[in-house]
Amino acid sequence: MPSIKQLAARELHAFVASLPDGVQAQLLDVREPWEVQAAALELPGATPLRIPMHELPARLSELDATQPILALCHHGARSLQVVAFLLRAGMSDVYNVAGGIDAWSREVDPLVPQY
């Protein structure tokens, strides 16, 4: 299995901006719906996908394996597991958002509530 690639929250804007024309990142938020309600992340240039971690195996077809996938959760542990799962499923262009929405709130956008 390939190694897990990590992106810091503060790197997300630059990563999305650096993608070539025709490539659009998918921001895969694997938190529970109540968590997304508490603190949502909208990343311009990325397609939002909100699929709770436990639903992902049944909803795998909703992901576009030809586009980069940025997995996000609260602190980065669930999304790390999701990235490992996606790699085992044969996807290669997947990244874990290290520190999750908590890091985003602390390092990038303090208007996103912490919980």
CATH number at residue 87: 3.40.250.10
Residue 112 lies in a domain: no
Residue 22 lies in a domain: yes
| Residue 2's pLDDT band (cuts 50, 70, 90) | confident
Residue 114 lies in a domain: no
**For residue 113, what are the contacts with CB-CB under 8 A and spacing of at least 6?**
38, 39, 105
| Residue 60's pLDDT band (cuts 50, 70, 90) | very high
Query: pTM for this structure?
Result: 0.95
- Active-site positions? 73
Q: What is the pLDDT of residue 51?
A: 98
Residue 115 lies in a domain: no
Q: Taking 80 as the threshold, does the pLDDT of residue 46 lie above it?
A: yes
User: Phi and psi (nearest 5°) for 7?
Assistant: -125, 135
Number of structural domains (the chain) is 1
Domain with 9, as residue range(s), is 5-107
| Residue 1's pLDDT band (cuts 50, 70, 90) | low
Residue 101 lies in a domain: yes
Residue 81 lies in a domain: yes
